[in-house]
Amino acid sequence: MKPAFRGLLVVVAAAVLAQSGAAASVRHAVRPESGVFWSKRVWLIGIGYCARGGGQCAGGAVERTTDGGRTYHVVLHTSEPVGLLTKVGARGAIATPSGGHAWRTLDGGRTWKPFDYQPFFWATPRVAVRFTAYMQGSSTKLALQATHDGGRTWRLLADPCNHAVTYNAYAALVTAKLWWIVCVGVPAGGTADKAIFSTRDGGKTWQTGAANLGPPHVRVHGGVGLIGSPDELAFAPNGFGLLTEVHGTLYVTRDGGRHFDAKREVVRRDVDLDAGAAAFSDGLGYVLLTGKAGFPARLIKTRDFGRTWQVVRRWGG
């Protein structure tokens, strides 16, 4: 083949690739799926490259920002959308693509290694808790276990959910000993019982917070409603916290979970789905809201302990 003709083929091939890439960018859009927030300026967003308006996806990635969300760059490419990001301490995270193998970073997203994902709640790369359901007679109970060696060994702790509701539970481990958990009842018609607890000594003793429980443990106080099923807690060390719900609302607490304010005007019920939240001691908070197909996703922020909220970034529907 003559050099000139070979060069022509290279130019033609480059043009075809450019056109196919342009077509792909038209067919697929960046859709946020999950997020973790280490600080006020540094966080990760798990994304999918998906057909506009929902539908088929063509891979995913993890994006990192170090300037409070003004700019992002990709730090991990995946074959599927990154549907779950789990925070692991001050600089760690686990990225779990839908239908794929998990990856873990311990250096703020700079490097990633394959990891065996388990549904744990992490305080540090070594300290985590997990909830395991078991039967006691005809009743379902939750076993709360803690590890201090990265999951190699576990010890059983007293689970306060067993005095409230035991269908499910979520935890926010702010430090190795300062934790909050929300115990959740069986969802029924868009409602679910819920109860908040906190500990400052790694689960040795527990303090009760807000609750909305029906029989047999009737308890209604602290401002949380019956509608909606909790799916995430986020807390700062000083007690400023956020509670997000499926098919519910966004709740804000400023006293460590004893009382919550409902921010119903912030989220679109049955449209917005929580994909990550964070609370910081100076009153700054973030919530990543993914929208159902055809609705835009949003990253929202508060600067005044959850009293007012504004949109930081918006992704198309």
Number of domains in the chain: 2
> In terms of DSSP bridges, do strands 219-221 and 229-235 run parallel, antiparallel, or are they unpaired?
unpaired
149 and 208 in a common domain: yes
Counting other chains too, the contacts that 101-107 makes at CB distance below 8 Å and 24 or more residues apart are 103/76, 103/78, 105/75, 105/76
Residues 197 and 180: their CA atoms lie apart, in Å, by 6
Task: Name the percent of the chain lying above pLDDT 70.
Answer: 89
Q: What pLDDT sits at residue 293?
A: 66
Q: Tell me: pLDDT of 2 over 50.
A: no
Answer yes or no: do 225 and 180 share one domain.
yes
In this prediction, residue 54 carries a pLDDT of 61
Report how far apart, in Å, the C-alpha atoms of 180 and of each of 126, 242, 243 are: 18, 11, 11
189 shares its domain with 270: yes
Q: Are both 90 and 208 inside the same structural domain?
A: no
Q: Are residues 42 and 127 in the same domain?
A: no
Specify the pLDDT at position 276: 95
The tokens describing 296, both together, are 């835009």
Token pair in block for residue 100 = 């794929």
Look at residues 96, 117, 138 and tell me which one is the last residue of a structural domain: 117
Tens of pLDDT, residues 257-292:
999 999 988 988 878 888 999 999 999 999 999 877
* pLDDT one-digit tens code per residue, 149-177: 999 999 999 999 998 999 999 999 999 99
Residue 253 located in a structural domain: yes
By residue range, what is the domain housing residue 260?
Answer: 119-317
Q: Work out the percent of the chain whose per-residue pLDDT is above 90.
A: 69
pLDDT for residue 13 is more than 50: no
Q: How confident is the model at residue 316 (pLDDT cuts 50, 70, 90)?
A: confident
Integer Cα distance of 232 and 169 in angstroms: 9
The answer on 293 and 172 residing in a single domain is yes
117, 134, 152 - which closes a domain: 117
pTM (whole model) above 0.75: yes
